[in-house]
Chains A and B, each alone.
Chain A
Amino acid sequence: MLDLIKLRLRHGKQAIPNIHTAEVLKTFRGFPIVDESKCENNCEKCKSICPTEAIEKNPLRIDLGKCIFCGECEKVCSGGAIKFTNNYRIGSTNREALIISSGKTFEQFEVEAIKAKKEIHKMFGRSLKLRQVSAGGCNGCELELNASTNVNFDMGRFGIDFVASPRHADGIVITGPISSNMAPALKDAYQSVSDPKIVIAVGTCSISGGMFSSSNKINRNFFDEIPIDLFVSGCPPHPLTFIHALLDFLGK
């Protein structure tokens, strides 16, 4: 009993008190600042080193739906044209907004990225239940989604929860590039969620195929038919990225 009290005292309060002002470590690679004027000799080193072809030149831009935030481009660039900041708020309802062009500030990105809709707020603002489907995910995104419900991040306080059955869910969260072997099950799960429902793509693999986009063992036809309502970038996205994207999406 005394040990238990000792443990509770040591444990203290773990939840992040105000999630809106929460910051992550400086080392974290989040929203990038792109400045083409710092490009030296149009060298294209960043473009050629990028493992997921997330960088385009002329004009220089980086696609956060393809980027795995490895930071290799930042390292090879002698001029400093790409700099990752620790700003983790990189969710978007708009796929195009994830392409970060030269000179774009975070404030400009934020305006375009997530547009909260009245009907979404009205329908899911007070309670949102989600069914997660891992379709070829490496377990990185899955671990971070689990973490978003743990004692530190405690997403449940906003009325957002993961549920076991798609029948209880208001939408599905997809992780992974969608392996061909999971494509039928993903479709089944999606169809089992009753309307109206939302689709959230979490992680680079889910948004664009990421590291696996050139594999012939993946099948992304699902997204040809089903539009994505919310894109959450990252490899894997930080729990705070996921929570903030949802809060902004719900207009909370």
Chain B
Amino acid sequence: MNWAETKNLQSVSLKEIPNMEFAKLREQIVEMIMKGCRVIQFFGEKINSGVILYVVLADDEQSKLFIASSNFNEGDIFDSITPEFKSFNYFEREFYEQFGIKPQGHPWLKPVRNGIAGVSDSEVQYEFFEMMGEEVHEVGVGPIHAGIIEPGYFRFLCHGEQIHHLEIELGFQHRGVEELFIRNRNNPVYLLKLSESIAGDSVIGHAGNFVRAIESLSETNISRRAMVIRTIALELERIGNHLGDLSALAGDVAYLTGNSAFAALRTKAINTSMSICGSRFGRGMVAIGGVNYDISLELKEKILETINKIEEDVEVAAEVLFSSASVLARFEKTGIISKDIAKEIGMVGPAARASGISIDVRTDHPFGGFSLFPVHKITLKSGDVFARAYIRYIEITQSIRIIKEQLGTLNEGELKKNTSELKPNQLVVSLAEGWRGEIVHTAITDENGLLRKYKIKDPSFNNWLAVALSVKNNGISDFPLCNKSFNLSYCGFDL
């Protein structure tokens, strides 16, 4: 096996990446996945003579990444890997949608972003999964949903109140982000701001990933201080979003006390982000080569004070929420994803950890501040709404501990370093644990050191299928609860 071996944020020369016949590549993928590797990127790039497919597999135990490629001509077909490993489902569909190269034998070869999105009802010629029988009915929801949330289309096949199957159609938010990355490659400030807008709730997650990729390609070592500030910002983002989710989950089961308490705590958390960088979502915080905003001694004390208060209040609120019989009756044994299924479909993030999968980029492929301060991986077993809610509570307390730890190591250092040109003909994979899970960005440079390809994978890309599977055999009225317990990104998926 001669795959290029590398690590998170360690760039490799394109020459080192082996290129092989797809049949051979497929054999090796199967072999490596059987050994415990996981697919984290599978994307095509258009080149003069056709399409080149890059596959990146991760070995979490050894913190290693393996990269190989294969060439295709337009109109080619290949043997789908999905029947054996369902984690390739969306990756192969995306590859087919973008380049027309067909994965033969894919069980459900549907569009990823250009299915029913963009056509009005009268024109729709879309093959939805169908179910026949007495008392069987279909419920279509979307793309516009009842609340203030992003658009997506959900089609339920129900028998009475019970959901038998849910089909999720996305793509409504498609804004051509990856294309904009290449078109504006000469404008680093634009690219940074664009990375902040991939998913507006994961600003630090995505922007941090982007700048680390650029810093790796330009061999820039940022100061320890900047690294610490970024780590604090990322954990604040995690706390803010998790608190917001706990609030919404309480609201979904009409438990208004929890809804209000966690919403107020969330405001405190995201206002802490604003006290550093002026934006409640951390916009402007991260810069290429460091950070834009400092944490002064005075601010440090304020942050400590706020997170200590949040820590105390969260404990009280969580105690009340997770001991309320009416809440538990709705949370427990609802929307179960077993460990086997989670592994099979390649789930990531807190949702995977709630099903017992021990996976966390902060520990498995450490980046930034986590290289020096390892994070203890938290897992739960039950894989239900309760587990996905409870793990958020534990992760909030964990993130608070991380912030305190990081604040204690805030040494002197320059905020921002100048970066040099990007190295030519390189590929770098940048991974980070956003609050939703594993964010992967892959950057490839051309012979002039300009970005040639920029590929983004939001954790939602892995987890949307889990939402569909979790609601099977649940009552349709539990759908909002199941959906919120994942709280996936539409625009992060649609790009």
Contact B143 A139 (CB under 8 A): no
Residue ID in chain B nearest A1 by CB atoms: B320
A77 in contact (CB, < 8 A) = no
Q: Taking the nearest CB of chain B, how far is it from the CB of A145, in angstroms?
A: 5
Residue ID in chain B nearest A142 by CB atoms: B148
Contact B148 A179 (CB under 8 A): no
Contact A136 B173 (CB under 8 A): yes
Query: Interface SS of chain B: helix, strand, loop or mixed?
Result: loop
Q: Which residues of B contact A146 (CB under 8 A)?
A: 147-148
Q: Please report which residues of chain B, range 212-266, place their CB below 8 angstroms from some CB of chain A when the two chains form the complex.
A: 244, 247, 257, 260-261, 263-264
Contact B320 A3 (CB under 8 A): yes
A245→B193 CA distance, assembly (Å): 26
Q: How large is the interface on A (under 10, 10 to 19, 20 to 34, 35 or more residues)?
A: 35 or more
Contact of B278 among A8, A28, A139, A151 (CB under 8 A): A28
Q: Taking the nearest CB of chain B, how far is it from the CB of A206, in angstroms?
A: 13
Residue ID in chain A nearest B324 by CB atoms: A4
Q: Please report which residues of chain A, range 195-219, place their CB below 8 angstroms from some CB of chain B when the two chains form the complex.
A: 210-212, 214-218
Contact of A217 among B149, B176, B274, B276 (CB under 8 A): B176
Instruction: Please judge, given known A-B contacts A25-B274, A27-B275, A189-B144, whether A177 and B175 are in contact too, CB under 8 Å.
Output: yes
B297 in contact (CB, < 8 A) = no
Contact A70 B193 (CB under 8 A): yes
Q: Which residues of A contact B103 (CB under 8 A)?
A: none
Q: Please report which residues of chain B, range 256-292, place their CB below 8 angstroms from some CB of chain A when the two chains form the complex.
A: 257, 260-261, 263-264, 267, 271, 274-281, 283-284, 292
B31 in contact (CB, < 8 A) = no
A125 in contact (CB, < 8 A) = no
Q: Which residues of A contact B292 (CB under 8 A)?
A: 71, 75
B49 in contact (CB, < 8 A) = no
Q: Which of B65-73, B182-190, B367-375, B463-471 contacts A (4 or more CB under 8 A)?
A: B182-190
Q: Which residues of A contact B317 (CB under 8 A)?
A: 7
Contact A215 B179 (CB under 8 A): yes
Contact B176 A215 (CB under 8 A): yes
Contact A51 B193 (CB under 8 A): yes
A132 in contact (CB, < 8 A) = yes
Q: Which residues of A contact B150 (CB under 8 A)?
A: 134, 137, 139, 142
Residue ID in chain B nearest A163 by CB atoms: B146
Provide a sorted-by-A list of 9 A–B residue pairs whose CB atoms are within 8 angstroms: A14-B264, A134-B150, A150-B264, A182-B118, A185-B144, A211-B193, A218-B176, A236-B200, A238-B280
B residues lining the A interface (CB < 8 Å): 113-114, 117-120, 143-144, 146-151, 171-176, 179-180, 183-184, 187, 189-190, 193-194, 197-201, 203, 244, 247, 257, 260-261, 263-264, 267, 271, 274-281, 283-284, 292-293, 312-313, 316-317, 319-320, 323, 489-491, 494
Given contacts A27-B276, A162-B148, 17 further A-B contacts (CB under 8 A): A3-B323, A6-B316, A8-B257, A27-B277, A29-B284, A69-B278, A136-B172, A140-B197, A140-B203, A140-B281, A142-B150, A143-B244, A151-B263, A182-B172, A214-B180, A215-B179, A236-B281
A residues lining the B interface (CB < 8 Å): 3-4, 6-8, 10-11, 14, 24-25, 27-29, 49, 51-52, 68-72, 75, 132-147, 150-152, 162, 164, 176-177, 179-185, 188-189, 210-212, 214-218, 235-236, 238
Q: List the 9 closest pairs (A to B, CB-CB), nearest first.
A: A140-B200, A138-B200, A217-B176, A181-B117, A164-B146, A181-B118, A184-B120, A27-B278, A51-B190
